[in-house]
Amino acid sequence: MSTGFPADSVGLVQPRRIPIAQPLTLDCGRVLPQHELMVETYGTLNAAHSNAVLICHALSGDHHAAGFHDAQDRKPGWWDSCIGPGKPIDTNRFFVVSLNNLGGCQGSTGPSTVNPETGRPYGPDFPLLTVRDWVRSQALLADALGIGRWAAVVGGSLGGMQVMQWTIDQPERVAHALVIAAAPKLSAQNIAFNEIARQAILSDPDFHGGRFYDHGVVPTHGLKLARMLGHITYLSDEAMRAKFGRLQRVNQFSFNFDVEFEVESYLRYQGQSFVERFDANTYLLMTKALDYFDPAREHGDDLAAAFRRAQARFLVIAFSSDWRFSPQRSREIVRALVRAGRDVSYALIESTLGHDDFLMPIPQYQRVLRDYLDRVAREAGT
């Protein structure tokens, strides 16, 4: 019994590292003979194995989606607002699986883990990955956990892209697909932001062509800049205005480049705390996976043709203030699903924060998730 945690929290959780022994052939042509995935699970798998829900994380996410790692933790997992007993993804009913994707930096095999062939971190030798590769890796994880078919696959942003890819590549293994704040592919503007983020990292002298581990340094400046840039795209203009406006720390211009405006302070803080927990090579890899994502590409650039393979029922959710992946991008997904004749519902959530709203406990958002997943749970017999 966890003490001191809220009643609707999954409480103390422990990640575990699951070895995937099967070789994985990647889109780039290379083969990973084996890999490991860091995984957390919440709730109990039922006897029929019909109540499993997969959580796919976004760019900087990881396996720690809910609960606390120790009693002193100040912050719970990244989607704790949504996952827990009685919450929309109800751990009293579902067996929730959350992993750190292959290529990540929170314990799964990735650029910062040791390459068994060389005894040194992979660094730039780690292959670049695609969303399809992640789905392949996650399918092997499902095999390892004894899950034949997910009651639901759920994800926001880059996570939502994995959800779509699951329904196309593993149609018989997904009953319901919840695609949140996503896009069917990146726009030129999206790719442009990613490219600047990458250039910030690549041009940092401490990057050392990705072999910074060997030099005992971290490309702090580049990674920090990349995160600062990303953060701007996660927030709406309105949210930044409301949060910071033109507030200054001192009510006088200082005529230098120190932090003057509150928004500068915020971005620097976000950048700095990111550097402490994230790996630069993983950041590069994740942004490339985003850029490459385009499920219509193998279907004559026709997204509807891609979705004709899908068997899942879909719930697509967008946020009104999101300009990174705007509601219009979600409508493209919905249009393709309708053309493909798939079951789909689409909810547009009034919001103010921007892209990051997919992590927020907005009442209408939670209501829609809860009501949809209630039906999923009943269908799964829980």
Partner 1 sequence: MTRSAGAPPDLRPDLALLCDWIRPGSRILDLGCGDGALLSYLAEHRQVSGYGLEVDEDKVARCIKAGANVIQADLDDGLRDFDSGSFDYVVMNLALQALQRPDDAVTEILRVGRVGIVTFPNFGHWRVRAALAAGRMPVTPSLPDRWYDSPNIHLCTVDDFEDLCRQRGWRIIARRLLDRSHHEGARIRLAPNLFCEIALYMLQSPEPSA
Per the annotation, the verdict on 322 as an active-site residue is yes
Question: Is 356 annotated as contributing to ligand binding?
Answer: yes
Q: Which is nearer to partner 1, 9 or 330 (CB)?
A: 330
Nearest approach, Cβ of residue 117 and partner 1 (Å):
50
Q: Is 368 in the site for partner 1 (CB under 8 A)?
A: yes
Helices (H), the chain: 131-145, 158-169, 188-202, 220-234, 237-243, 262-277, 280-292, 303-307, 327-339, 363-379
Q: From the candidates 62, 80, 133, 322, which is the catalytic residue?
A: 322
Question: Could you tell me the smallest distance in angstroms from the CB atom of residue 247 to partner 1?
Answer: 33
CB nearer to partner 1: pick between 202 and 338: 338
State the nearest-atom distance from the C-beta of 299 to partner 1, in Å. Answer: 17
Cβ 360 to partner 1, closest distance in Å?
16
Q: Do 134 and 33 contact (CB within 8 A), yes or no?
A: no
Shortest distance, position 366 Cβ to partner 1, whole Å: 10
**x-marked contacts with partner 1 along 272-311 as a string, rule CB under 8 A:** ----------------------------------------
Phi, psi of 177 (to 5 degrees): -120, 120
The one catalytic residue in 63, 80, 355, 357 is 355
3-class state of residue 317 by DSSP? strand
CB of 364 to partner 1, least distance (A): 6
Contact 37, 15 (CB under 8 A): no
Task: List beta partners, residue 165.
Answer: none
Q: Which parts of 313-352 interact with partner 1 (CB under 8 A)?
A: 315, 331, 334-335, 338-339, 341, 343-350
Of the ranges 3-11, 47-55, 223-231, 361-369, which one interacts with partner 1 (CB under 8 A)? Answer: 361-369
Q: State whether residue 154 is helix, strand or coil.
A: strand
288: its two tokens: 């490339």
The residue (of 139 and 318) whose beta carbon lies closer to partner 1 is: 318
Query: Would you say 81 or 108 has its CB closer to partner 1?
Result: 81
DSSP 8-state assignment for residue 205? G
Task: Give the SS3 label for residue 187.
Answer: coil
Please report the sign of the dihedral spanned by the C-alpha atoms of residue 318, residue 323, residue 325, residue 326: positive
> Which of these segments, 46-54, 79-87, 261-269, 368-376, binds partner 1 (CB under 8 A)?
368-376
* 35 part of the active site: no
50 classed as catalytic: no
Binding residue per annotation — 279?
no
Write the CA distances from 207 to 33, 106, 122, 212, integer angstroms. Answer: 27, 20, 14, 5
* Main-chain dihedrals φ then ψ at residue 196, nearest 5 degrees: -65, -40
CB-nearer residue toward partner 1: 148 or 341 = 341
Asked whether the CA dihedral 25, 30, 33, 38 is positive or negative, the reply is: negative
94 or 212: CB nearest partner 1? 94
Is 208 an interacting residue with respect to partner 1 (CB under 8 A)?
no
**Count, residues in the chain:** 382
> What CA–CA distances, in Å, run from 255 to 71, 83, 252, 258, 259?
45, 47, 9, 9, 11
Active site residues: 157, 322, 355
The residues that touch partner 1, with contacts defined as CB under 8 A, are 315, 331, 334-335, 338-339, 341, 343-350, 364, 367-368, 371-372, 374-375
Binding-site residue ranges: 227, 356
Give the residue ranges of the annotated binding site for substrate.
227, 356
